[in-house]
A and B are shown apart, each in its own frame.
Chain A
Amino acid sequence: MNILIYGLITGFLFGFLLQKGRVLRYDKQLGALRLMDMTIVKFMLSSVIVGMVGVYLLQDLGVAKLSVKSLMLGPIIIGGLLFGLGWGLLGYCPGTSMGALGEGRWDALWGILGMIVGGGLFAEAYPWLRSTVYTWGDYGRLTLPEMLGVNHWLIIPVFIVGAILLFRWFERKGL
């Protein structure tokens, strides 16, 4: 029961911050996809930077474990292409569709219903996908530091510097 309350509170805080950052709106999401407004990219990368440092710290302190997903080229490439197509049509991703509804942008509701149907279809297709797409290009659980054979604290600063340079460029271009 406790874990469910944690979920609700965490979601509440995240939804609050998504709304404050103004990243829930269709105009912002399409703005990013049309390369006109990088608000969402700024939000996501800022979140990734803090999360990356924090989670690796927790791991080094032995109080948390990384949750690494498998590098499966087939499902990731095909799934990514489908996700992008659907995202462009809907204008919200799964999490932000819920936040958009909270803001009163109730066109998100159609997307939420569509996503529930899409989830049901995926469950139906799963046995077939497992014997086909999921067998294509499976490299197992990998992280960038492992692949390069270096300590993660070498990769993290490089990533942060890259993100800051990108942010500076966005601000100069007024994106």
Chain B
Amino acid sequence: MNKGDGGWSPYLAGGLSGLVGVMSVWLAGQFFGASTSFVRTAGMIEQWFSPERVGQLEYFIRVVPRIDWQWMFVIGIVLGSLVSAWTSGSFRWQSVPDMWRERFGHTPVKRAIFAFTGGVVAMFGARLADG
């Protein structure tokens, strides 16, 4: 359901993204992923406060809190999306998504609480399943 806002077919954009993934495996030996970078970021923030404790946590011994390929990949997603949105005029500052507004009205605080809580639960699940 293209609303004629300059978006591409999801089949085309998805297929091309698969091609980018294949090139990444070929040239850099790296598979796409994002969730580990959130754990690394948590570790990097915790390191400012208590580096000894982070150094002893089993998970941070396996997954060292540092900037790696995937961390840069995740930053790249923000920039790529920004450029695509900006150049196609689809960039929009929004604190409450349209569907949320239709159902719950303009309630940015409620949205923030649900988004934050959802983020905590989703990331715990994603890491548990090694996704």
- What residues of chain A have their CB less than 8 Å away from a CB belonging to chain B? 3-27, 30-31, 37, 39-40, 42-51, 54-55, 58, 63-64, 67, 69-70, 72, 75-76, 78-95, 97-108, 110-127, 129-130, 133, 167, 174
Which of B12, B42, B76, B125 is A86 in contact with, Cβ under 8 Å? B125
| A79 touching B128, Cβ below 8 Å | yes
Distance in angstroms between the alpha carbons of A81 and B19 in the assembled complex:
30
| A95 touching B34, Cβ below 8 Å | yes
Most buried by B among A19, A100, A106: A19
| B119 touching A51, Cβ below 8 Å | no
| A121 touching B124, Cβ below 8 Å | yes
Which of A4, A69, A94 is B69 in contact with, Cβ under 8 Å? A4
| B24 touching A50, Cβ below 8 Å | no
| B94 touching A105, Cβ below 8 Å | yes
Distance in angstroms between the alpha carbons of A4 and B126 in the assembled complex:
24
Interface size class of B (residues with CB under 8 A): 35 or more
A and B contact pairs by CB, cutoff 8 A, 6 listed: A7-B30, A7-B72, A20-B88, A39-B10, A75-B129, A78-B129
| A118 touching B120, Cβ below 8 Å | yes
Known contacts A11-B79, A14-B32: does B85 contact A126 (CB below 8 Å)? no
Instruction: Report, nearest first, the 9 A-B pairs whose CB atoms are least far apart.
Output: A11-B76, A114-B119, A86-B122, A15-B80, A79-B129, A82-B125, A50-B18, A89-B118, A102-B81
Nearest B residue to A64, CB-CB:
B25
Chain B residues numbered 74-119 whose CB sits less than 8 Å from any CB in chain A:
74-85, 88, 90-100, 108, 111-119
Nearest A residue to B76, CB-CB:
A11
Most buried by A among B14, B58, B108: B14
Which of A20, A91, A94, A105 is B84 in contact with, Cβ under 8 Å? A20
- SS of A interface (majority): helix
Which of B59, B85, B94 is A106 in contact with, Cβ under 8 Å? B94
Chain B positions within 8 Å of A58 at CB level:
22, 25-26
| A17 touching B82, Cβ below 8 Å | no
**CB of A39 to closest CB in B, whole Å:** 5
Chain A positions within 8 Å of B35 at CB level:
94, 115, 119
Which of B75, B81, B125 is A79 in contact with, Cβ under 8 Å? B125
Chain B residues numbered 5-21 whose CB sits less than 8 Å from any CB in chain A:
5, 7-21
| A86 touching B58, Cβ below 8 Å | no
| A44 touching B14, Cβ below 8 Å | yes
Chain B positions within 8 Å of A94 at CB level:
34-35, 37-38, 74, 122-123, 126
Distance in angstroms between the alpha carbons of A127 and B10 in the assembled complex:
41
**CB of B119 to closest CB in A, whole Å:** 2
Chain A positions within 8 Å of B124 at CB level:
79, 82, 86, 118-119, 121-122, 125
| B57 touching A118, Cβ below 8 Å | no
